[in-house]
Chain A
Amino acid sequence: MTDQVTTQEVLTTADGVPLKISLKRAMRKKMITSLLLVTPLFLFILLTFLMPITDMLLRSVDNKIVGELLPRTIPLFSGWDENGQELPGEDIYRAMVEDIKEGAEAKTILRLGRRLNFERSGMSSLFRKSARTIKRIEQPDSYKAAMIKIDKRWGDINLWRLIKRERGSFTNSHFLSAIDRQSNDDGTIGPKPEYKQIYIKLFVRTMTLSLLITFMTVLLGYPISYLLATLPTKISNMLMILVLLPFWTSLLVRTTAWIALLQKEGVINDLMVAIGIISNDHRIVMIHNKTGTILAMTHILLPFMVLPLFSVMKTIPVSYMRAARSLGATRFTAFRRIYLPNSIPGIGAGGILVFILAIGYYITPELVGGVSGTFISNMIAYHIQGSLNWGLGAALGTLLLMLVLALYILYDKIVGIDNMKLG
């Protein structure tokens, strides 16, 4: 009796192995195969995407350099109250002297100067000067006095407060800078001085211009896609080549062509002067400003709108419009109530594609944007290549990434990602 119950409970295959186990065994083989199939791509993505991104995210808060180069000074800071009015004690000065001496020998101390210079100008020169002259300090009566003698900034309590604040291996200062804020000397967080506030403005501009560009590509791309989707395949394939033609020429060439067209002495201005629409002295400035960026980027990103739109429209059967017409709708009503709603997924897909591409665009704004048409990515590039403030560059990049993700989630909430079709 009990025997029967157990055989009923544990199903076995013909050779007596429990069904679940043999099923698992069969599945394992499958799983190993699929794992092997994914591995190369996974490794590639890990190496070329995940690792760099993580590195960038970490760089935006990384502050190990301070702890590494001031190994004696940092631990002593706990014995000093930065909120009081007293300068640090003799022990801290002494440790600082030793740290700088060692750093000067190893020629690493200038890196620390450069790092702290991002927080407060003059730090770089202070450390350079101190490193040069610190050898003179040998067994003084007072290390404090000796240092202040080298440079009286060592007697500035705010400088010490700054060093104490930045002692940890992580810092929020890059992120604060990225949103135009700073840590005040008293430790509170406040806005940067007006003339130094640039990033928020740039973020806003990047967003609004990207939105505008996306809107323009919809405006221009929709009719074209509609035409392509309704024409016979033979003709539409040919026209499609024309749409894709821009892809075949280098981005740089296309952007430069825009410069040739739009600049003050360019083709369009020349034409308008020749026809007499404008006078020679009133040539229109169309490039190296917002207009330039909008025009050139709309052109460059247009195919990314047309392709998803086209592929969605291609799937809308002709019979929908015909049904609507036969039911009594005018051409316009049929379009508005039937065709348009069915093509929304294409607009969504194209829109997100263009917007995300635009928001991170670099070359075109750099070449044709002038001052008023640059994007946040141009600033990131500047910090990576020019000012070498990688931390701030990384913080800006991270913010940009989060912004895109946030918008993506917002889009998902409003439109629904399932509603997006790329083909």
Chain B
Amino acid sequence: MPENNDSLVRFTNIQKSYDGETLVIKDLNMDVARGEFLTMLGPSGSGKTTCLMMLAGFEPATHGEIFLNDQPINNVPPHKRQIGMVFQNYALFPHMTVGENLAFPLEVRKMRKNERKQRIKKALDMVQLSEFEHRRPMQLSGGQQQRVAVARALVFDPELVLMDEPLGALDKNLREQMQFEIKHIHEQLGVTVIYVTHDQSEALTMSNRIAVFDDGIIQQLAAPDILYEKPENAFVAQFIGENNRFLGKIVEANDVSCQVEVDGGGLVHAKSVNIAGVGKRATLSLRPERVVIQPPEGSLPNIFDAFVKELIYLGDHIRTRVDVCGHNDFVIKIANSATHATLKRGDVVRVGWEIEDCRALDPSD
């Protein structure tokens, strides 16, 4: 998407330090396309909010330039950037009614009263809160406040909206409903959204692309399915979805595949994604749902004996922890179907997987 040259936001070589000693953002380069829903995902303290704050103009970048519509904005004050923003605690003005909150951005733009009224009505309709116009924020539930915050960030028709963990304070059901609503609004309006979360399932369901942050660096920036199925490093593999990990030494390798002598014992065939070469170490990453139970002899390149240590019933699937190749935290997900394998604790079973599903990552010495 960034290649189509229609980028709305561009970070170039951004570095940020608060204290002059540590870099919170190390070298950020990122393009956000017009109309895109881009999510920044990462653990706490990885610098996501800092990025948003620099974009919104509340924190200066220590180095580098941010472009909005191809214009450098480092010296543009926040109120001239025309960026809508939804804060984690909503930041609704408590002394104003919902209607007044929405009127605020229009009033400071000196919009006439009639048009103001129309816009407010439209925005409130969009979030289905028309009858709450005269309530104070305190008199609304968390979800309703959240919707008001979204409406307020959109009411002045910004091209770009930033949302910093907007659903962090909501319970699970409401969260899922709001994810859907925000996604829906995004599609309806065609506005560009940069969204911050540390909930990976939220990122996966909502985004066009996800930027996985860690330690001030974008670890991978890709569409959700690619991120999940083709993680480029062990951090991404670990952070998105569940993941089984083997550490080992490469004994044989070519561009497509490699063989790794796993630390606990056993030779695993894996796909070469990012490896340093024979004799070097690598991390193997394998999704639990890609493991096959009791495969016919010789049907898969990787087949090992596994010792069942624990079974956890989770409704739609059974989480099974087994001991394979000296790794006793190897997890398998067995779908709960009529024909699923019935295992018991203490059983010894055969497990296997494809080369394609086992990715060799993270070159190191």
What is the interface of chain A, defined by CB distance below 8 A to chain B? 317, 319-320, 322-331, 333-334, 337-338, 341-342
Q: Does residue B275 face the partner (Cβ distance < 8 Å to A)?
A: no
- In the assembly, what is the distance between CA of A331 and CA of B94, in Å? 19
By beta carbon, the residue of chain B nearest A338 is B93
> Judging by beta carbons under 8 Å apart, are A341 and B83 in contact?
no
Query: How far, in angstroms, from A326 to B108 measured CA to CA in the complex?
Result: 11
Nearest CB in chain A to that of B78: its residue:
A325
A317, A322, A327: the one contacting B58 at CB < 8 Å is: A322
For A324, list chain B residues within 8 Å (CB): 93, 104
Contact bitstring B88-116, A, C-beta under 8 A = 1, else 0:
11010111000000001100110000000
Q: Which of A317, A323, A328 contacts B109 (CB 8 A)?
A: A328
Q: Give the contacts of B142-194 with A (CB-CB under 8 A).
A: 152-153, 156
B156 touches A326 (CB 8 A): no
Instruction: Give bound CA distance, A98 to B82, whole Å.
Output: 97
Contact, CB under 8 Å: B104 / A329: yes
29 residue pairs A–B, Cβ–Cβ below 8 Å: A319-B89, A320-B91, A320-B93, A322-B56, A322-B58, A322-B78, A322-B85, A322-B87, A322-B91, A323-B85, A323-B93, A325-B57, A325-B58, A325-B78, A326-B56, A326-B81, A327-B104, A327-B105, A328-B79, A328-B80, A328-B82, A328-B108, A329-B79, A329-B108, A331-B79, A333-B108, A337-B104, A338-B93, A342-B93
The A interface, classified by DSSP as helix, strand, loop or mixed, is: helix
> Is the CB of B248 closer than 8 A to any CB of chain A?
no
Please give, as numbers and ranges, the residues of chain A lying within 8 Å of B153 by CB-CB distance: 326-327
* CB–CB A328/B89 < 8 A: no
In the bound complex, CA of A419 to CA of B108 (Å)? 27
Q: Please tell me if B84 contacts chain A, counting CB pairs below 8 Å.
A: yes
Q: A342, B79: Cβ atoms under 8 Å?
A: no
Q: Are A326 and B78 within 8 A (Cβ)? A: yes
Count chain B residues whose beta carbon lies closer than 8 angstroms to a beta carbon of A: 26
A287 to B94, CA, bound (A): 46
Complex: how many Å from CA A337 to CA B101? 11
- Please provide the chain B residues from 223 to 247 with a CB less than 8 Å away from any CB of chain A in the complex: none
Separation of A358 and B154 alpha carbons in the complex (Å):
49
Interchain CB contact under 8 A, B93 and A328:
no
Given A320-B91, A320-B93, A342-B95: A326 touches B85 (CB 8 Å cut-off): yes
Which residues of B have CB within 8 Å of A320? 91, 93
Select the residue from B57, B80, B81, B87 with max chain A CB neighbours within 10 A. B87
